Amino acid sequence: MRQLLLILGFICSLTADASDKLTIAAAADLRYAMADIVSLFQQQTQLDVRVIYGASGKLSTQIRHGAPYDMFFSADISFARQLYQDGLAATAPQPYALGHLVLWSPQQNMAGISLSQLAEFDFNRLAIAQPAHAPYGQRAKQALQAAGVWQALEAKIVYGENIAQAAQLAQSGGADIAIIALSLARFPELASQGYQPIPTELHQPLQQAYVITRHGADNLAARQFAAFIATPPVLDIMQRYGFEQGRFEQPSLVQQEAQ
């Protein structure tokens, strides 16, 4: 309780001085959770917050090319870490959650269906995020490979630019099944059908982290939001959307094979 009071006191002390607008670049798996977090933050501070969602790799590239983002919430800590090492972030990466993948379809209940069963499953298209720049897409590919079905299914795979677009492909009929973030599958609009969690040992962990960028180094609102992220109401929102707290750098079959 004392720690919470100190954090809230820090937030309040910044409110009077934080006149800057806050622009956040956030991984697409945060689309629904971040909307709730920002809404709560704005209720308490009356600050102007804008969030741009996308694939972590593309957002990182935009920051490198001068995009005026004050904070960057990455679905893969490696992007945040590299920005910090290259002098493009004012703070070291701060882990905020561990993400999870699920097998989901808007047409049928996927609960109980494993990745290894997909090779014999009757469907036409499987949507995943683009592995080249979306961490959730990269991990989806790793999981399909570890399950031994990547080659059998590769011709059926369609790609979204990010994990939210992969879900939209399935929603719009562009795919029958999708591998998406648990945080999206928990949103009421997508939760009409059951989903199947994908074992975390099939892929590298989705350790997620944020940084205050070099552009946002002097933005007091960014520091205020960073303090807000650590408060119990925000942690409750993250938990509701399926983000795991306090367990990072977990081992995986992919990492073990690399060793």
Residue list, annotated binding site: 56, 163
Question: Residues forming the annotated binding site for molybdate?
Answer: 56, 163
- Single-letter code of the amino acid located at 21: K
Q: What is the DSSP letter of 213?
A: B
Q: How far is CA 205 from CA 52, 106, 199, in A?
A: 24, 26, 11
- Whole-number Å distance between alpha carbons of 77 and 216: 19
What span, in angstroms and rounded, lies between the C-alpha atoms of 178 and 187? 15
The dihedrals phi and psi of 128, each to the nearest 5 degrees, come to: -140, 165
Distance CA 41, CA 232 (A): 13
- The set of residues, in sequence order, having a beta carbon less than 8 Å from that of 15 and lying 6+ positions away, is 45, 47, 224
Which of 247, 258, 150, 146 lies closest to 205, judged by CA? 247
Kindly give, in sequence order, each residue whose CB lies less than 8 Å from that of residue 136, ignoring residues fewer than 6 positions away: 29, 75, 99, 101, 128, 129, 162, 163, 166, 179, 180, 181, 206
